[in-house]
Amino acid sequence: MSTKPTSNTAAESVKDSAQEEIYAKHAKVYPREVQGIFATLRTLGVVVLLGLFYGVAWLTWDGHQAVLLDLPGRKFYIFSLTFWPQDFFYFAWLLIIAALALFYVTSLAGRLWCGYACPQTVWTEIFLRIERTIEGSRNRQIKRDEAPMSLAKFRIKATKHAIWILFSLYTGFTFVGYFTPIRELSLKLVEFNLGPWESFWIFFYGFATYGNAGWMREQICIYMCPYARFQAAMFDRDTLVIAYDEERGDPRGARKKNAVPGEVGLGDCVDCTLCVQVCPTGIDIRDGLQYQCIGCAACIDVCDDVMDKMGYPRGLVRYTTEHAMQGKKSSILRPRTIMYTVLLLALTFGLVYSISQRTPLNLDVIRDRNSLYRETNEGLVENVYTLKVINKAEEARRYHLEVTGLEGMQLKMAAKVVQVPAGKVLSLPVSVQIDPVVLKRAANEIDFIISDIDHPEITHTEKARFLGPVLGR
Amino acid sequence: MNAGANMQDNNREEGIPVIQRIVAVLWPSFLTAGVATGLFFTVFHPEELLILTGHTTVSHMGAYSIGFFLFWLLTAISCALTCYFQRPCHQIKGRRG
């Protein structure tokens, strides 16, 4: 029915140009350096967040690395807390809280996360600084990129990339340092003795940092970030956004310094395009709210500067809300924000409470895979299990073990009392024997009950299956 | 080779650069593979899997990494198929006729 038309219709060319705009070949954005209150805040964010990332890896707590996601040992150390695979649920809970917090902040203050805290923003900021230090100002960078390749250009570019790559590799090293103890890792690095997977992940994460912060930059936000696509759903007319005051600024135009805007027939916008030059995503804030805007407020800083120089009041581009722009009152307390606050408080309190109430004891029961059951010389049926006794406490504990569920069951194990060191998993082979006459079914449910001898309130019950022949059938 | 040519053709029609198509396949699959790896290894201990399959020389880190890349491969395949089937049918007809 619908074959592709051979000539371009008007409608199609409109569609083409629209798509070209969305998917245009990437033209490099050269964000101009900016100074001001929001730039200072962003720098502060960079220093604090990257300081945490690179610094926390080296902290020690109670004889172990303060934050260590020990995958081989299947234990996550977060300061004085130790999490086990059984605690995965807390991690999911934490993720839900993080997502809700993001929604909450978004509905209140727009894209604060994007502008100040997102790793993409933070690392891009560092890479931009390195670039500026080596390549010079925006104008010099543009001029150099337009010039043909020369020895000087090559030298400068090579230096920049070498520093970027070194910094990226150190970032990858720190990342892996959260999974393999970082002190051990640095020893191995010095001795050129890194494991193949450790080296692989250092290069993988390093490459991702170099690619994302050095090359991709704002394209990550525009094309790859899921949050950027759906954040508008959390916006309403009372959400803080960065906007250009069109009523005050237009009509735009250049004029002499200290000219009174009304007298020259122009608005306050001097059309210096500095707000476009500083934008890390290369948009013009004066075109209105755009989803490419990551809310970094660089345009506010630079515009305030220009307004100061012109002797006009600040805030031609400012943090505001849609309601405020229309001269209405904006309110912070709205059903949406109240709901987020209540949910967030409830979930956070629940998580803290539930972590504080964790039992420091766990038991896993693994059936012997090689045989279903065995008959002993005395004619009893025997099942063999491996028990994993997990002591999550900070000191060694002694446990007592029993088994219930079937009449006359006997638990055979090497010692009566089970000793487990602090934070360790003990593999304990045990066997359970029973007279086959009591077996009514081929598969029976039994319970292993473990209890702490010195703290009787700490017990754990784990279900297991006991298999055997059913006699008289 | 053929698939590559098709893709380029397709991209010319829709004006989407190849690199962006690749990112659209690799990136969401990377995210979901990460989640899947986390869930999978929470339930299954790599040590048991390695013993059961006889790969006792693979380290834990290796088992987790291989697991992650297998998941990524699977999720990337499904993302790629989605991309592929998203192509409007009339374009296929148009090319043949």
C-alpha span between B82 and A290 (Å, rounded): 28
Pick A204 or B89 by higher pLDDT: A204
Q: How many residues does chain B have?
A: 97
Mean pLDDT in residue range A176-202: 93
C-alpha span between A360 and A452 (Å, rounded): 10
Please enumerate residues of B whose Cβ is less than 8 A from a Cβ of A: 13-17, 20, 23, 27, 31, 38-39, 41-43, 45, 48, 52, 59-62, 64-65, 90-91, 93-94, 97
Mean pLDDT in residue range A133-158: 93
Cβ B15–A224 below 8 Å, yes or no?
Answer: no
CATH of domain A361-467: 2.60.40.10
Q: Which chain B residues have a beta carbon less than 8 Å from that of A200?
A: 65
Q: Which residue has the tokens 């995965």?
A: A88
Amino acid present at A118: C
Alpha helices (H) along A253-316: 274-278, 298-310
Smallest CA–CA distance, residue B66 to chain A, in Å, is 10
The per-residue pLDDT for A2 is 39
**What is the full DSSP assignment across A339-354?**
HHHHHHHHHHHHHHHH
Cβ B59–A195 below 8 Å, yes or no?
Answer: yes
CB count within 10 Å of CB B6 equals 14
C-alpha span between A116 and A136 (Å, rounded): 24
Kindly report, residue by residue over A212-261, the tens digit of the pLDDT: 999 988 888 888 888 888 888 888 888 899 999 988 888 888 888 777 77
Kindly report, residue by residue over A271-305, the tens digit of the pLDDT: 999 999 999 998 999 998 888 899 999 999 999 99
Give this complex's ipTM: 0.72
C-alpha span between A85 and A92 (Å, rounded): 12
Token pair for B50: 């390695």
The per-residue pLDDT for A204 is 95
The pair phi, psi for residue A31, each rounded to 5°, is: -70, 130
Q: Is residue B9 pLDDT above 50, yes or no?
A: no
Dihedral sign, Cα of residue A247, residue A249, residue A255, residue A258:
positive
The per-residue pLDDT for B91 is 63
* Res. B94 pLDDT band, cuts 50 70 90: low
The per-residue pLDDT for B15 is 64
Q: Which chain A residues have a beta carbon less than 8 Å from that of B64?
A: 71
The per-residue pLDDT for A225 is 86
Mean pLDDT in residue range A100-117: 91
Amino acid present at A86: Q
Q: Average the pLDDT over each of A211-215, A446-450, B18-22, B59-63 and give the range with the smallest value.
A: B18-22
Kindly report, residue by residue over B33-78, the tens digit of the pLDDT: 999 998 898 888 887 777 777 777 788 888 899 999 999 999 999 9
Cβ B61–A71 below 8 Å, yes or no?
Answer: yes
Whole-model pTM: value is 0.77
The per-residue pLDDT for B2 is 43
* Res. A19 pLDDT band, cuts 50 70 90: very low
Mean pLDDT in residue range A400-428: 87
Mean pLDDT in residue range A73-86: 83
Mean pLDDT in residue range A195-213: 93
Q: In sequence order, what are the residues at sequence separation of 6 or more whose Cβ sits closer than 8 angstroms to the Cβ of residue A309?
A: A257
Smallest CA–CA distance, residue B13 to chain A, in Å, is 9
C-alpha span between A132 and A139 (Å, rounded): 11
Please report how many Cα atoms fall inside a 13 Å half-sphere around the Cα of residue A382, on the Cβ side. Answer: 14
* Res. A207 pLDDT band, cuts 50 70 90: very high
Q: In sequence order, what are the residues at sequence separation of 6 or more whose Cβ sits closer than 8 angstroms to the Cβ of residue A106?
A: A112, A113, A231, A234, A235, A239
* Res. A26 pLDDT band, cuts 50 70 90: low
C-alpha span between A317 and A123 (Å, rounded): 26
Q: Is residue A85 pLDDT above 70, yes or no?
A: yes
Contact A164, A208 (CB under 8 A): no
Q: Is A447 left (phi over 0), alpha (psi -120 to 50) or beta?
A: beta
Of the spans A67-71, A173-177, A222-226, B7-11, which averages the highest pLDDT?
A173-177
- Which of B16, B62, B90 lies nearest to residue A3, judging by beta carbons? B90
Share above pLDDT 90 across residues of chain A, in percent, rounded to a whole number: 50
- Which of B16, B31, B91 lies nearest to residue A23, judging by beta carbons? B16
Amino acid present at B58: V
Pick A451 or A368 by higher pLDDT: A451
Structural domain spans, chain A: 236-325, 361-467
Token pair for B13: 């029609």
C-alpha span between B55 and B37 (Å, rounded): 19
C-alpha span between A303 and A319 (Å, rounded): 12
Q: Is residue A145 pLDDT above 80, yes or no?
A: yes
- Which of A74, A179, A224 lies nearest to residue B23, judging by beta carbons? A224
Structural element, H or E, at residue A384? strand A381-391
- Which of B23, B45, B65 lies nearest to residue A197, judging by beta carbons? B65
Token pair for B48: 């048991």
Smallest CA–CA distance, residue B1 to chain A, in Å, is 24
Token pair for A8: 């371009």
Cβ A179–B59 below 8 Å, yes or no?
Answer: no
* Res. A15 pLDDT band, cuts 50 70 90: very low
Cβ A85–B91 below 8 Å, yes or no?
Answer: no
Q: Which residue has the tokens 């200072």?
A: A40
Structural element, H or E, at residue A5? none
